[in-house]
Amino acid sequence: MIVDLPDTTTSKVSKALVRLREEGGAVALGRVLTLVIAATLGHEEEAIEAANDASREHPMRVIVVSTESAPGSGAEKREPRVDAEIRVGGDAGASEVIVLRAYGDAASDPESLVTGLLLPDAPVVAWWPGVAPEVPAESPLGRIAYRRITDASAQPDPQAALHRLCSSYHPGDTDFAWTRLTLWRAQLAAVLDQPPYESVTAVQVAGAADSPSTTLLAAWLQLQLQVTVDYELTRGPLANGIRGVHLTRASGVISLERDVPDIATLAQPGQPTQDLTLKRRSLRDCLSDELRRLDPDELYGEVITRGVPGLDEAVAEQAGVQA
């Protein structure tokens, strides 16, 4: 069920929620958190669908704040107005979804739009599925959130966005470029946890130039293994995401490569080559994964603040040696 509330206020939306609850159309009991999604007008539905799917594992209230893409895009010429939708039942998964489309000056203070709609005594998670603020933790929505989720891959320049995260990081920040690495990290850790227990002496990581996940994987490996990573980013129509990792030990090279979608090939010295399922994680999978924890991801913090800058230094040193 979708209830439309054109040209409304936060107070009216709150009263409508109470009315729906009294009529039995929605309940707040069992909601474990409030997810606030900062979206661009006209580009909300993919994020809402992912949140609806994730809500089956994490019952929550979803508040979507939709505004113009940029201050100079004409928003200042519009009359201040907020149009709202309340979605419950089959249109909201196991959550209740409140969509606030703000125009003109009404979009200038998103914090005030959502404050009266937050679940009492429940943690707040803020998610920017598109362009994120320069410093998420200091943004109006970031200030009220326990966790702040960005996606460097969705930015105009993913690699530049990833490097901005290095300097803007605050405990509680995370990025889907890191979440997409979970299966890669688990597989590599499982391989190294088997005999022979030899030190890794060289590491090669390859991926697409627009893949911040490739950069984070290289930074994580260099940080954890204390070995300088040979890091290659390629451009072109066939370059997509992480392409492969090669770990050199005394007994030979461990190779994990993904040349076709969703399937990776694992080759190890003295063992038969294996084809493994290594899917690209969906938006729903990434969101569900991040909502499983509300404490700061300390490993991500270490990789983004120490690992990525260390990788940059290693790349610069290699370039100097080659020159």
For residue 133, give Cα distances in angstroms to 1, 57, 152, 305, 322: 33, 28, 11, 18, 37
Domain boundary, last residue among 124, 156, 175: 175
Domains: count for the chain: 2
Q: Read off the pLDDT of residues 128-170 as tens digits, 9 standing for 90 and up.
A: 999 999 999 999 999 999 999 999 999 999 999 999 999 999 9
Q: Are residues 286 and 265 in the same domain?
A: yes
Q: Read off the pLDDT of residues 1-56 as tens digits, 9 standing for 90 and up.
A: 889 999 999 999 999 988 888 776 445 556 889 999 999 999 999 999 999 999 98
Question: What tokens does 20 get?
Answer: 């729906």
Q: Are residues 270 and 281 in the same domain?
A: yes
The pLDDT mean for the chain works out to 91
Please spell the DSSP secondary structure of 65-124, one letter per residue. EEE-SSGGGTGGGSPPEEEEEEE-GGGSTTSEEEEEEEEGGGGS-HHHHHHTTSPTT--E
Q: Are residues 293 and 237 in the same domain?
A: yes
Q: Are residues 210 and 310 in the same domain?
A: yes
Range of the structural domain that residue 227 is part of: 176-323
Q: What pLDDT band is residue 225 in, cutting at 50, 70 and 90?
A: very high
Q: Are residues 63 and 204 in the same domain?
A: no
Q: Are residues 17 and 145 in the same domain?
A: yes
CA–CA dist 58, 291 (Å, integer): 7
Domain boundary, last residue among 128, 143, 175: 175
Domain boundary, last residue among 130, 158, 175: 175
**Bridge partners of residue 38, in order along the sequence:** 65
Indicate the residue type of 318.
Answer: Q
Peptide bond between residue 261 and the one before it cis (omega within 30 degrees of 0):
no
Q: Read off the pLDDT of residues 67-107 as tens digits, 9 standing for 90 and up.
A: 986 544 444 467 899 999 999 887 777 789 999 999 999 99
